[in-house]
Copies of this chain bind each other. A is one copy, B any other.
């Protein structure tokens, strides 16, 4: 197994971060570079909140609350209780420790630091042996058209628990977004071992990354194998609205639908054993089936290894 080159992973929040943790543990130190969705970022209480970047930071540094599934472990909520007391906006929960990340990010951005620079600073402070990059240093904002009209992401996702059906999705600012320079450079690097699309929601976690100006073209030119890991198991998402959103868009949620969604971009797909039959005899796309439920660190390592082995197989067959 080739284990020399860097690996680029595209990730959203919770689901993607599980695979990212697996990759971190099976790859050499600092071989992993993660590009995170920032389409969910928003200004809240005057603070710049980057939910997916933070989920990755907390997960990769072992600071995540695995039981609750989001935020920091050993978190407390005294700020929120006091905010409620003064009549503040409490629909989006910010833990006392988590809040420090947003306050310091906002302060550094206001000083003129880039989001990439701030994130690299946090990665160093948290002792993460990987790179985490925002997909853009300029704002991209995911917006959703519902029967009630266009909505911003967080009011839909958190404020309305992702319940309003989504008829259309757009990524405001993506066409003029600034992909961090490291990303196209890495995609042109002949030593790049693989690009892994993490099992995040394709519509609202991966598509925003792909929409960033220059990203899709750079991925298409890239010589390294591009491998996606399906976020569905037997047509259902472990967490989050992926399956429901696909149905709202008249797409039957399945491993086949995920593969079709990434057609033209990926060289291989990893699906759950339950979905193995769906990816047999695919044209031009390699496939592997493994149990993709990631509850333990061993699970995460297993799925990460499966994605890397599939990439290595694709590369070997090409050579």
Contacts and interface: CB of A to CB of B under 8 A. Distances in A.
Interface of A: 45-47, 72, 75-76, 78-83, 85-89, 96-101, 103-104, 106-107, 110, 121-122, 125-126
Copies in the complex: 2
B82 A101 contact: yes
A140 B106 CA distance: 25
A68 to B, nearest CB: 16
B107 A45 contact: yes
Contacts of A126: 85-86
B125 A100 contact: no
B88 A104 contact: yes
Contacts of A125: 85-87
A104 B86 contact: yes
Nearest to A98: B82
Contacts of A104: 45, 83, 86-88
B83 A100 contact: yes
Count chain B CB atoms within 10 A of each CB in A75, A86, A99 and give the residue with the most: A86
Given A81-B97, A96-B96, A100-B83, A88 B76 contact: no
Contacts of A72: 82
A110 B89 CA distance: 14
Nearest to A80: B100
A227 to B, nearest CB: 33
